[in-house]
Structure 1
Amino acid sequence: MKDQNSIKHRFEVLDIFRGIFASLVFLFHLSPFAETPVLKNSFVENSDMFVDFFFVLSGFVIAYSYQYLGNGQQLKLFLTKRVYRIYPLHFFMLMAFVGMEVAKNLLNPYIKVNNLENPANNVLTFFTSLFLINSTPVPGVADVSWNIPSWSISAEMMAYLVFGGLLVGIHTSGQYKRRNIFYALIILISLACLWQVSGSFQINYSFNYGFLRGILGFFTGVICFNLFSATHLQVRNWPAFLFTAGELVTLALIGFCIYHGEALKSFGIVFEVLFFACIYIFSFEKGILSTGFKSVGLLHKLGQYSYSIYMTHALLISLFNVLFIRILKFSPASYSWLFVVNFVLIYFVSAWTYKNIEMRFQYKSSKKQAEKQEVKI
């Protein structure tokens, strides 16, 4: 554990990837509205698999921050912090979608509204979203609903519960040195359950078995960090050109596999392995691509706003489509350039939600709050 505590690193490039891949998920959700090769291509149409990068990176980052949870009180604090981090924006966006459903019905006499009654958005799915169980099988739920990306926030929360409970069990039973065996066992159990569901290693589930997908990716990330923790002192001294080669190869393989995602999704574990390799290599930030990414200020902002971009984009795509396609009568082919305008809107809205929701409602310990009060006094 001393090695882990000695790592003082921001992992800036991994944050940047979070922003880039959140932007690609935006393009994935925009593509059904468009008629342009810019968005209608195999790479964009399979970019939903980048969600698994978020799960793996989350496990990596959480393992960096939490190598020890020794009792129920520490577990409660861990889960409280995670809820404060993800729930406020999730709740805000859920209410925004409720408002949009109400507005659709009020405006229907004046504006042509597609899907006036979305059967997926109902009272039952409202409560599954509200209580973050919208990545688990619930009788009567047959599709993603409300804020479509929110199923992955549910899956993330499930992964936190399993990780936190397991970590407490590991420490109270004195099994810390064997922790990676337990983490690997969780991965195998998740894969076995997914195999039971589909008879393959397909992992791209959402409203039903997305929680298994989240747990699988999360614990892959936990093991990735533990490998980084055990090897970083030696590996970081390797020549920079080796890291550059590794960065180029992993990104090329990810691009290739995403492009051929339709064929590879039945072997979804491939994406877990690739994201594992990508996160491990880029965590050292020693290759030429890492240096280049870190020199671009906009990419840092994308990383900073990535959660907001991910959570706000579905609503803003819908509103944007109503304005430009339904009201202003732009052709769907106009998305060859309108996607830039749409993303700029998402970027600025995300900057606002980051500042006013994410940061405003983040967890503050009583000690920090007391210190803040003393400074004000």
Structure 2
Amino acid sequence: MPISAAATSTDATAPAKSHYVILDGLRGVASLLVVVFHLFEAYAGNDPRKQIINHGYLAVDFFFLLSGFVIAYAYDDRWGGMGRWEFYKRRLIRLQPMVVLGSVLGAALFAFQSSTIYPKAPGTSAWQVILVMLIGCTMIPMPKSADIRGWNETYPLNGPAWSLFYEYCANILYAVGLRRLSNRGLGVLVVLSAVALILLLVMGKRGDLIGGWSLDADGLMIGVTRVMFPFFAGILLMRLGARVRLPGAFWLCSLMLIVALSLPRFGGTERLWINGLYEAGCVILLFPLIVAIGAGEKQSDGPSVRVARFFGDLSYPLYITHYPLMYIYVGWVVDRKVPPMQGALAGLGVLIVSVAVAYATLKLFDEPARRWLASRLLTRRP
């Protein structure tokens, strides 16, 4: 079942500013947790209580929070000399090359992904796969009638791309109006969206934040609710200067994030609201604290900074390219009833391959493509 991450680093196409390297690194840690979460799904089935990285889907909400923070940091003070179209071009340059590659990779591996858990729609032709791939490259969400896999995904060749749709929507909302709001007005939106999030978690059908990838009423409600609070709160955190200086910030924040996403599900099947309260606490309280601690350290060198920079660079390519491999791995485990030890060894191999593919695509495609696009599309200033 696809979760994803809206991975937005301090924008390399924005006018030069120092990066929050620790925050970039935390996004990389969360991306790795997403991959491990998906690997463990092969043995969890539809029972969330069996999932090892139980709350791994909350990485999406953490990414949305980081996105709001770094978007405000990179652009809040640039609007005097930058119009909305310039902003849109910068965001497209940052995000779209890997969206295209993820869709192409999903189409290339589609023939190897047929399984009982990930079936193909009967009679799916190569031309249908190509059409879905091309639509996926544009980020136009697809209805159920275009789903060639049967999971009601808006992007059936690369499920995690759904959060990029909400990332783009949030970016447009920021450019159109959020950037003009006072801190008080933004604070009102943060409070209202927090209430909506709590209601979804406590009063909803599941008691968790799983969902958002379907183009139907429930999917849209979950997706919109998930992006609103963290994105709004991220902008407000940056504007208020929320910074907490602690030694070893990267390692401390990484540990907090790993523990929060790995704890078992609370409340069982009878008291879903307990798990809902836990996840609300993570998104509304813990994640902003982690971001504030991560933003309190802006070192330019040191072992932890180098590790953070590496994983930060890797995070977005890893998130957008790993899932086509998950379709194959999870289908293999389920259909063959692979024993856990054998599956763990194969899963480790899939993790290594996912990281290698992400690094290769970063260096051989994403960075060159962004440089090429920036040289031709962005306004040149003396």
Q: TM-score, normalised by structure 1?
A: 0.71
Q: Does 1:348 align with 2:352?
A: no
- Which residue number in structure 1 is paired with residue 227 of structure 2? 214
Distance 1:245 1:312, change over 3 A: closer
Supply the AA of the counterpart residue of 1:62.
I
Distance 1:212 1:306, change over 3 A: same
- Which residue number in structure 2 is paired with residue 19 of structure 1? 28
- Which residue number in structure 2 is paired with residue 85 of structure 1? 94
What is the CA distance between 1:156 and its match in structure 2? 0.8
**Aligned ranges 1:256-335 → 2 under 5 Å:** 256=260, 258-263=262-267, 265-267=275-277, 268-272=279-283, 273-285=285-297, 293-294=304-305, 297=307, 299-320=308-329, 331-335=339-343
Supply the AA of the counterpart residue of 2:211.
Y
What is the CA distance between 1:252 and its match in structure 2? 4.2
- Which residue number in structure 1 is paired with residue 368 of structure 2? 360
Distance in 1 (CA, whole Å) between partners of 2:161 and 2:107 is 14
Which of the two has higher C-alpha Rg? Answer: 1
Q: Does 1:157 align with 2:168?
A: yes
Contact 1:202/1:266, CA 8 A, preserved across alignment:
yes
Supply the AA of the counterpart residue of 2:66.
L
Supply the AA of the counterpart residue of 2:162.
W
3-state SS of 1:359 partner: helix
Supply the AA of the counterpart residue of 1:281.
I
Supply the AA of the counterpart residue of 1:56.
L
Name the stretch that deviates more: 10-19 or 303-312. 10-19
Name the structure with the higher helix share.
1
Contact 1:305/1:351, CA 8 A, preserved across alignment:
yes
Supply the AA of the counterpart residue of 2:263.
Y
What is the CA distance between 1:40 and its match in structure 2? 8.9
- Which residue number in structure 2 is paired with residue 227 of structure 1? 240
Q: Please, which of 81, 84, 92 is the counterpart of residue 75 of structure 1?
A: 84
Distance in 2 (CA, whole Å) between partners of 1:331 and 1:315 is 22
Q: Does 1:339 align with 2:351?
A: no
- Which residue number in structure 1 is paired with residue 71 of structure 2? 62
**Aligned ranges 1:110-259 → 2 under 5 Å:** 115-118=118-121, 129-132=136-139, 134=141, 143-144=152-153, 145-167=156-178, 170=180, 179-191=182-194, 199=203, 203-207=209-213, 208-209=219-220, 210-228=223-241, 243=247, 248=252, 251-252=255-256, 255-256=259-260, 258-259=262-263
3-state SS of 2:297 partner: coil
Distance in 1 (CA, whole Å) between partners of 2:294 and 2:323 is 29
**Per-residue CA shift, 1:98-150, capped at 9, x if unaligned?**
3333x249xx8xxx77644258x988976874553549xx6768733331211
What is the CA distance between 1:43 and its match in structure 2? 4.6
Contact 1:305/1:354, CA 8 A, preserved across alignment:
yes
- Which residue number in structure 2 is paired with residue 374 of structure 1? none
**Per-residue CA shift, 1:5-36, capped at 9, x if unaligned?**
xx95422221111111101100111112248x
What is the CA distance between 1:227 and its match in structure 2? 2.4
Question: Unpaired segments of 5 or more residues in structure 1?
Answer: 1-6, 372-377
3-state SS of 2:374 partner: coil
What is the CA distance between 1:368 and its match in structure 2? 7.5
Contact 1:31/1:45, CA 8 A, preserved across alignment:
no
Distance 1:265 1:90, change over 3 A: farther
Contact 2:97/2:369, CA 8 A, preserved across alignment:
yes
3-state SS of 2:276 partner: coil
Contact 1:85/1:361, CA 8 A, preserved across alignment:
no
Distance in 1 (CA, whole Å) between partners of 2:187 and 2:374 is 33
Distance in 1 (CA, whole Å) between partners of 2:353 and 2:167 is 27
What percentage of aligned pairs have identical amino acids? 23
Distance in 1 (CA, whole Å) between partners of 2:29 and 2:286 is 16
Distance 1:249 1:64, change over 3 A: closer
Give the superposed CA RMSD: 4.3
What is the CA distance between 1:41 and its match in structure 2? 5.8
Contact 1:205/1:213, CA 8 A, preserved across alignment:
no
Supply the AA of the counterpart residue of 2:347.
F
Name the stretch that deviates more: 204-213 or 44-53. 204-213
**Per-residue CA shift, 1:248-274, capped at 9, x if unaligned?**
589448625641445555234322221
Q: TM-score, normalised by structure 2?
A: 0.70
